[in-house]
Structure 1
Amino acid sequence: MSEYRYFVVNKPYGVLPQFSDHDGRKTLKSLGKFPSDVYPVGRLDLDSEGLLIITNDKMLNHKLLNPKFEHNKTYLVQVEGDITDEAIKKLEKGTEISVNKTKYKTLPARCKKVEKPENLEERDPPVRFRKNIPTSFIELTIHEGKNRQVRKMTASVGFPCLRLIRLAVEDLRIVNLPRGGVIELDKEFMLEKLKLKKDTGSAPRTNQARHRKPSGGSKRPGYGRPKPKPKGRR
């Protein structure tokens, strides 16, 4: 049995959350070399950014994607217009969206208006702006995973999404991990931050803590001891 591997990626805009594409678009391969048996957990749309977990641990994948476990996912959302308290309350209570051409009311969520983060990197390409129409930012935490749910939620309360960044899954956050950065984490740390039981997965005893520096030569985001580069290659 091969050892379990756990990577966190800060996915840029315009990168597909997969390793191949028949249309020649950018994929996860553009961010670095990964072992041949890993895959992304869930999806982060082509036009969305932020935290994406890549692993070969099928049990972790099941635990995070099964809605009955209700794992919190937190997003930074830039919306068109100066969002109102009324709209925020609607997002918190649940709003009606379309899922598979049927009406669906989202579950209660946490939402708050925030200032634009000082360390937020500008998107490439830049977010479109319309003169005389301001934009604002919210931090939205949900524990569902409907297709393009966050975008549909903000549009349903009258504030279309301009930019969407996944900041965290439970307590696992992208901290000082630059756009396009990749870091490898050990199993124990991943399970702790994702609030999963330690019996998730069944990594062999040889799976020791290793870290991989994020791409781009920037500072490591303080997750723990450094790891050597993975031996497997894509």
Structure 2
Amino acid sequence: MLIALNKPFGVLCQFTTNDGRPTLADYVRQKDVYPAGRLDHDSEGLLLLTDDGALAHQLTDPRHKQPKTYLVQVDGALTDDALQALRRGVVLNDGPTLPAVAEHADEPAWLWPRDPPVRFRKSIPTSWLTITLREGRNRQVRRMTAAVGFPTLRLIRVRIGGYALEGLPPGETRVLAS
């Protein structure tokens, strides 16, 4: 079985917790499925869950280099130089990243409001970009955008390999394969 979840902001990528925060158990009704990868609690979007260990390995193991695409809102007016740096790869504290596919983007019309909203500062603009990675380090997109001078305000994963978020509302699931 393969299930897509549009993980809401603030949800932990686990099924249990002892501190009362929302988890996958609050959104996923299917039994015996586990996340193939993860999204941080402050990230949103596509999370795949499966009961197939081999499929989970194929989706998450860096050797398979499944592309993961994110829609990112950053603080400030994103420059072409910053995009070029992301495309070349940036040096993080755990070493250089692989080159990314990074492009300017418009805020999509389909985007749902976030709860709580992203902070708004009248004097500082925000920008949107898409970024596609073929590796998956901890908080990598956030660290990459910060390294080029544009901290991430909102991060939404929209695609993993051939699987896309398309039209799936926050907190909802879609069975992709049974």
The normalised TM-score by structure 2 is 0.97
Counterpart selection for 1:47 from 42, 48, 58: 42
**Could you tell me how far 1:22 is from its partner in structure 2?**
1.3
Structure 1 match to 2:100: 109
Give 1:71-220 correspondences, 5 Å limit: 71-99=66-94, 104-186=95-177
Percent identity between the aligned chains?
A: 50
User: Whose RCO is larger (CA < 8 A, sep 6+)?
Assistant: 2
**Could you tell me how far 1:152 is from its partner in structure 2?**
0.1
- Alignment partner of 1:18 is 2:14: yes
Structure 2 match to 1:27: 23
**Could you tell me how far 1:16 is from its partner in structure 2?**
0.6
Give 1:20's aligned amino acid. T
SS of 2:38's equivalent? coil
- C-alpha offsets along residues 18-66 of structure 1, whole Å, 9 cap, x if unaligned? 110111110011114121x211111100000000001110001111221
Gaps of 5+ in 2: none
SS of 1:152's equivalent? helix
Q: Which has the higher strand share?
A: 2
- C-alpha offsets along residues 160-213 of structure 1, whole Å, 9 cap, x if unaligned? 000000000112101111011101122xxxxxxxxxxxxxxxxxxxxxx5xxxx
Deviation larger for 77-86 or 61-70: 61-70
SS of 2:93's equivalent? strand
Between the two proteins, the alignment pairs up a number of residues equal to 178
- CA distance in structure 2 between the partners assigned to 1:157 and 1:41 by the alignment: 29
- Aligned Cα root-mean-square deviation (Å): 0.9
- CA distance in structure 2 between the partners assigned to 1:50 and 1:142 by the alignment: 15
**Could you tell me how far 1:123 is from its partner in structure 2?**
0.5
- CA distance in structure 2 between the partners assigned to 1:98 and 1:139 by the alignment: 23
- CA distance in structure 1 between the partners assigned to 2:33 and 2:28 by the alignment: 13
Give 1:163's aligned amino acid. R
Give 1:145's aligned amino acid. G
Structure 2 match to 1:212: none
**Could you tell me how far 1:129 is from its partner in structure 2?**
1.9
- CA distance in structure 2 between the partners assigned to 1:32 and 1:38 by the alignment: 9
- CA distance in structure 1 between the partners assigned to 2:48 and 2:37 by the alignment: 8
**Could you tell me how far 1:143 is from its partner in structure 2?**
0.5
Structure 2 match to 1:8: 4
- Alignment partner of 1:69 is 2:64: yes
Gaps of 5+ in 1: 187-208, 210-234
